[in-house]
Amino acid sequence: MENLTLAIKGMTCMGCVASVTRVLKATAGVKDAQVTLQPAQAQVQYDGAQTNPAQLKAAVEDAGFEASEPA
């Protein structure tokens, strides 16, 4: 299992947090996701054979938020 932290911009309420959590958990290969407003980030546990950081970032962006991997 892999672990990824994405910094997320554009979340302003707990509804946004729920939306990001939902799209991540709906992505094939995602085992679990913890999304927080403070700090504005998502921690994702996923199967590296089924998905990857670029796909997870794209899923969040398709939902209308900006995501980036911490440097």
Q: Could you tell me if 28 and 51 are in contact, meaning their C-beta atoms sit under 8 angstroms apart? A: yes
> Is residue 12 part of the contact set for ligand 9UX (CB under 6 A)?
yes
Nearest distance from C-beta of residue 52 to ligand 9UX, angstroms: 26
Closest residue to ligand 9UX in the complex (CB)? 15
Alpha-carbon span 49 to 10, nearest angstrom: 29
Q: Tell me which of 4, 6, 8, 16 binds ligand 9UX, using CB under 6 A.
A: 16
E strand intervals along 1-71? 2-9, 30-36, 41-46, 66-68
Residues that bind ligand 9UX (CB under 6 A): 12-13, 15-16
